[in-house]
Amino acid sequence: MLEVTGLRVAYGGIQAVRGITFHVNQGEMVALIGANGAGKTSTLKALARLLNAAGGSVRYCGKEISRLEPHQLISEGIALVPEGRGVFPRMSIVENLLMGAYSRHDKDGIAADSAHVFSLFPRLKERSQQLAGTLSGGEQQMLAIGRALMSRPKLLLLDEPSMGLAPLMVQKIFEVIRTVADEGMTVLLVEQNAKLALEVSQRGYVMESGEITLTDEAAKLLANPKVREAYLGE
Amino acid sequence: MDIFIQQIINGLVLGSIYALVALGYTMVYGIMGLINFAHGEVVMIGAMVALMVIKLLVNSGLPVFIIILIALAAAVAVCMAVGYSIERIAYRPLRRAPKLAPLITAIGVSIILQNLAMLVWGRNYHAFPPILPTSEHDIFGATITSLQVAIVLIAALMMTGLIILIHRTRLGRAMRATSENPPIAQLMGVNINQIISFTFVIGSALAAVAGLMVSANYSIAHYYMGFMLGLKAFTAAVLGGIGNIAGAVLGGILLGLIESLGAGYIGDLTGGFLGSHYQDIFAFFVLIGVLIFRPSGLIGEKVSERA
């Protein structure tokens, strides 16, 4: 579904991503793990067209998307839940969800999907008229994921959904991510929390200083001594 | 007491006009952090176009109401086109430039438009043809003309419409989302360039209406009228809290009142040393005062140094 070949991202003269190649199959959840500064977020931003790639190709459903405008991706079926959540703080929960559905015009479908999001995150429903800026970090993460789902994406890109959250909240968020994946969503998950990410994914890629150094089935990566030492703190 | 009420009425009329213009400043600032100093010139162009159309049609035998409506439509159309072009030609190429570049460009655009207007319409003052009904109404010993009533009502109507647009529609949501976080708004599928163009077009339409109001109210228009009006409306936007829609309305009306009351009493206050033609100083006292004591404006949020 997503095929990334030789992707490079540079900030000025500094290469953050040095020609990486990976793919995500339809219906699969793939984890991209690595330490802070390994280039994971730059990779996602380049996929979402928030950054210009310095080279390489990104093919999605057979179509080259690395030259699209950022606002065109969502109608292709790609939604990004950005690092740091990026909810609109001065808009209510409902309005944030409606922004997620901005590219759609089917009123009934939008209503049905927001009901679905509220069933995934009952806590959001209780506060639907509250401004997003007044929510806790975990609630904002729920909202960011819910908002991304509102576009009815085919491919969901998640950037560090566990960042800065209490363990209990992380668990809740990951339960929902798992649920969404089980419903058939294709997910690319970028995480520093390697254990968590690999536990919910089918396959994984390990990124180090802008390069992919290791790839395998998630369960095998979890058992890999190198990974255990470097990312699981053993 | 009569003077007091009269000045309150004058202030409300003036303030309604300031508010309409201030909305243009504040919307553009809210969306892209730019102070569009050329906005006053758009008001001037609106006034000039409307006046030209009225002069053209004044002997046509059409009813006054229709003439005004045609003039207004022409002014709105021209101003929308001008506003769109300003953004497209002058500001869009500078989207990624440091904030100072578009700011200086804005001043340049303002000078260019002034000079173009001078070439087209000349350096003279143009009198507004006396076609409007001059009926006056008494309120508590003060007088208000039908024109003044119309100005306040139309301004109120347009501001209500704008607030509904921004808070109740899909387009308004996209505008607010862009103003809060442009990259994330893009992720949602918002075409930022379209939203910015739209913001300029709407602001310019309000400016065109304000232009007709000013020239009708003072019975005069000239190529230089946008400069001072623009500065004052900018002051009004800062007073209310720039970037804040309700703030622009509040700031505009307050500034109108301050100026009118100031002009009414400045003679008494200074023992006749300064006359009412010094009314312009009040706007700038207000601007300096706000910048020193409450830079975020009356109902604005604290914003970090942006321009």
Q: How far is B15 from chain A (nearest CA, A)?
A: 28
Pairwise CA distance, residues A159 & A34, whole Å: 12
Sheet holding A29-34, edge to edge: A78-81, A155-159, A186-191, A29-34, A203-208, A211-217
| Segment (H or E) for B272 | none
Q: B173 at the A interface (CB within 8 A)?
A: yes
Provide the CATH topology of domain B2-128+142-293. ABC transporter involved in vitamin B12 uptake, BtuC (1.10.3470)
Longest pairwise C-alpha distance within chain B:
62
Predicted confidence (pLDDT) per residue in B78-122, tens digit: 999 999 999 999 999 999 899 899 999 999 999 999 999 999 999
Provide the pLDDT for residue B134: 80
Q: Which of A71, A90, A95 sits opposite B190 (nearest CB)?
A: A71
Interface residue ranges in chain A relative to chain B, Cβ cutoff 8 Å = 48, 50, 69-75, 79-80, 82, 86, 88-91, 95, 98-100, 102-103, 147, 151
CB contact under 8 A, A91 and B183: no
Residue A128 identity (one-letter amino acid) = S
Alpha helices in B219-273, H assignment, sequence order: 225-240, 245-269
Q: How far is A178 from chain B (nearest CA, A)?
A: 23
Cβ-Cβ contacts under 8 Å for A233 (sequence gap 6 or more): none
From first CA to last CA, the distance across chain B in angstroms is 44
CB contact under 8 A, B173 and A103: no
Q: B269 at the A interface (CB within 8 A)?
A: no
Q: How far is A103 from chain B (nearest CA, A)?
A: 6
Q: B169 at the A interface (CB within 8 A)?
A: no
Provide the pLDDT for residue B130: 86
Q: Which of B170, B177, B187 sits opposite A70 (nearest CB)?
A: B187
Provide the pLDDT for residue B266: 84
Pairwise CA distance, residues B89 & A148, whole Å: 34
CA neighbor of B17 nearest in space, from B40, B48, B45? B40
State whether residue B297 is helix, strand or coil: coil
Q: B191 at the A interface (CB within 8 A)?
A: yes
Q: How far is A194 from chain B (nearest CA, A)?
A: 26
Q: Which two tokens stand for residue B302?
A: 């604290």
CB contact under 8 A, B187 and A82: yes
Pairwise CA distance, residues B247 & A188, whole Å: 43
In the DSSP assignment, the letter for residue A62 is: T
pLDDT band at B1 (very low <50, low <70, confident <90, very high): low
Longest pairwise C-alpha distance within chain A:
51
Provide the pLDDT for residue B83: 98
> Exposed, middle or buried: residue B162 (CB in 10 Å: 0-12, 13-18, 19+)?
buried
Pairwise CA distance, residues A123 & B96, whole Å: 39
CA neighbor of B254 nearest in space, from B279, B231, B237? B237
Q: Which chain A positions have a beta carbon within 8 Å of B176's beta carbon?
A: 88, 90-91
Dihedral of the alpha carbons of B74, B80, B85, B87, in degrees to the nearest 10? 160
Provide the pLDDT for residue B268: 81
Is-contact B117 B45, C-beta < 8 A? yes
Provide the pLDDT for residue A234: 63
Strands B126-127, A63-64: pairing is unpaired
Per this entry, what is the length of chain B?
307
Q: B190 at the A interface (CB within 8 A)?
A: yes
Is the pLDDT confidence value at B202 over 70?
yes
CA neighbor of A26 nearest in space, from A190, A181, A217, A234? A181
Helices (H) and strands (E) in chain A, counts: 10, 10
Q: Which two tokens stand for residue B59?
A: 């002997």
| Segment (H or E) for B9 | helix B2-32
pLDDT band at B270 (very low <50, low <70, confident <90, very high): confident
Provide the pLDDT for residue B274: 81
Quote the mean pLDDT of chain B.
93
Predicted confidence (pLDDT) per residue in B159-201, tens digit: 999 999 999 999 999 999 999 999 999 999 999 999 999 999 9
CB contact under 8 A, B173 and A91: yes
Predicted confidence (pLDDT) per residue in B17-65, tens digit: 999 999 999 999 999 999 999 999 999 999 999 999 999 999 898 999 9
Q: Residue ranges of the domains in chain B?
A: 2-128+142-293
Q: How far is B29 from chain A (nearest CA, A)?
A: 17
| Segment (H or E) for B244 | none
Tens of each residue's pLDDT in chain A, 234 residues: 999 999 999 998 889 999 999 999 999 999 999 988 899 999 999 999 999 999 999 999 999 999 999 999 999 999 999 999 999 999 999 999 999 999 999 999 999 999 999 999 999 999 999 999 999 999 999 999 999 999 999 999 999 999 999 999 999 999 999 999 999 999 999 999 999 999 999 999 999 999 999 999 999 999 998 888 887 776
Q: How far is B187 from chain A (nearest CA, A)?
A: 6
Mutate to test the interface with B, among A73, A75, A99 (most CBs of B within 10 A): A99
Cβ-Cβ contacts under 8 Å for A78 (sequence gap 6 or more): A47, A48, A60, A65, A153, A154, A155, A157
Provide the pLDDT for residue B306: 38
CB contact under 8 A, B187 and A73: yes
Residue A18 identity (one-letter amino acid) = R
CB contact under 8 A, A74 and B192: no
CB contact under 8 A, B187 and A80: yes
Residue of chain A minimizing CA distance to B178: A88
Is the pLDDT confidence value at B226 over 50?
yes
Q: How many CB atoms within 10 Å of residue A234?
A: 8
Provide the pLDDT for residue A125: 95
Residue of chain A minimizing CA distance to B186: A71
Q: Which of A70, A74, A99 sits opposite B177 (nearest CB)?
A: A99
CB contact under 8 A, B177 and A91: yes
Provide the pLDDT for residue A32: 96
In the DSSP assignment, the letter for residue B122 is: -
Is-contact A29 A35, C-beta < 8 A? no
Q: Which chain A positions have a beta carbon within 8 Å of B180's beta carbon?
A: 88-91
Q: How far is B175 from chain A (nearest CA, A)?
A: 11
CA neighbor of B166 nearest in space, from B156, B154, B175, B157? B175
Alpha helices in A68-217, H assignment, sequence order: 73-76, 93-100, 107-120, 122-126, 137-149, 167-182, 194-200
Domain at A2-231: CATH architecture: 3-Layer(aba) Sandwich (3.40)
Size of interface A-B (CB pairs under 8 A): 66
Phi-psi region of A59 (alpha: psi -120 to 50; beta: other; left: phi over 0): beta
Is-contact B152 B11, C-beta < 8 A? no
Q: Which two tokens stand for residue B100?
A: 């100072």
Q: Which chain B positions have a beta carbon within 8 Å of A50's beta carbon?
A: 183, 186-187
Pairwise CA distance, residues B194 & B186, whole Å: 11
Backbone angles phi, psi at A29, to 5 degrees: -115, 120
Mutate to test the interface with B, among A45, A80, A102 (most CBs of B within 10 A): A102
Pairwise CA distance, residues A161 & A127, whole Å: 21
Is the pLDDT confidence value at B307 over 60?
no
Q: Which of A48, A100, A102 sits opposite B174 (nearest CB)?
A: A102
- Measure Cα distances from B281 to A35, B220, B235, B274 in Å: 60, 21, 12, 11
CB contact under 8 A, B190 and A69: no
CB contact under 8 A, A71 and B181: no
- Measure Cα distances from A22 to A31, A178, A205 in Å: 11, 22, 8
- Measure Cα distances from B165 to A95, B19, B45, B127, B172 in Å: 14, 17, 25, 35, 5
Pairwise CA distance, residues A86 & A145, whole Å: 10
| Segment (H or E) for A52 | none
Strands A78-81, A155-159: pairing is parallel
Is the pLDDT confidence value at B303 over 60?
no
Q: What is the mean pLDDT of residues B256-266?
A: 91
Provide the pLDDT for residue B301: 66
